[in-house]
Each structure stands twice: as structure tokens, then as C-alpha cells.
Amino acid sequence: MMQLDEMLEKRGVKVDKVLNFAIDDTILEERITGRWVHPASGRSYHTKFAPPKAPGVDDVTGEPLIQRKDDTAAVLKSRLDAFHRQTEPVIDYYNKKNVVANLHAEKPPDAVSAEVHKVLS
């Protein structure tokens, strides 16, 4: 992280705010593993938050929905392990510089956006 700070300093820039979108891994798992997509259009659905009218079927075309190969609990666990391992030291470093804003990413998108705007104002 010090290398980043040094590189930015040479350009006359410094990190003055780090947004940490904090969310429990179990909530992420629910969000990720519930995603379904209509491949031809890119329309996305969620089994809990935005379900199709008929399970497994696109609302517009009636064609089958698919789940991405990486939207499984096993793949997500591996990705989250790597994310935590790589990200926590960065957050810790910038926490010591008092520039981290911890945002509650489990909230609805509008609420998270409002938090972002508040922190950056």
C-alpha cells in the first residue's frame, strides 16, 4: 500500500477516502447463488428478490433461464477467501490513516447510494 501512496504522491494525488462496502458473506451467498439469467437478452432474475413469473423461465420469451457456472456456493467461497485475504490488509492500512468509510452494503441499492453520496459530500 505504501507503494501506491508513493506512486500517487509523485503525481500529486493522495487517497483521501476508501469506500469499504461491508456485507456478511452469508448475505452475499444468498444474493449470488439466487441469480438467474436469460442468456440471449441478459435479463437477470433472482429467486428471492426479483423472481420470474414462472420459475426458471424468462418473463418475455418463455425461454429457459440459466445460472452462471461461477454463481455457486463453492466458487463463491473460494472467491471470498481470496478477496478477504487480499483486501483486509488494504482496509487495515487505510483504517490507520482514518480514510475508510465502512458502508452497509446489505441495504437496498438506494440506501447504499445515499450512504455513498453522504460519505463523499
| pLDDT tens figures, 59-94 | 999 999 999 999 999 999 999 999 999 999 999 999
Q: Mean pLDDT throughout 99-106?
A: 96
pLDDT surpassing 90 at residue 1: no
Mean pLDDT value across the chain: 94
pLDDT, position 3:
87
Closest CA to 38 of 70, 68, 65, 67: 65
Domain map (residue ranges) of the chain: 2-34+71-120, 35-68
HEC assignment per residue over 33-60: HCEEECCCCCCEEECCCECCCECCECCC
DSSP 8-state assignment for residue 96: H
Is 84 or 2 the better-scoring residue by pLDDT? 84
Contacts of 30 (CB under 8 A, 6+ apart): 48
- Quote the distance between the C-alpha of residue 57 and its chain's center: 26
Residues near 88 by beta carbon (within 8 Å), at least 6 away in sequence: none
CATH classification for the domain delimited by 2-34+71-120, as one of 3.40.630.30, 3.90.1150.10, 1.10.8.60, 3.40.50.300? 3.40.50.300
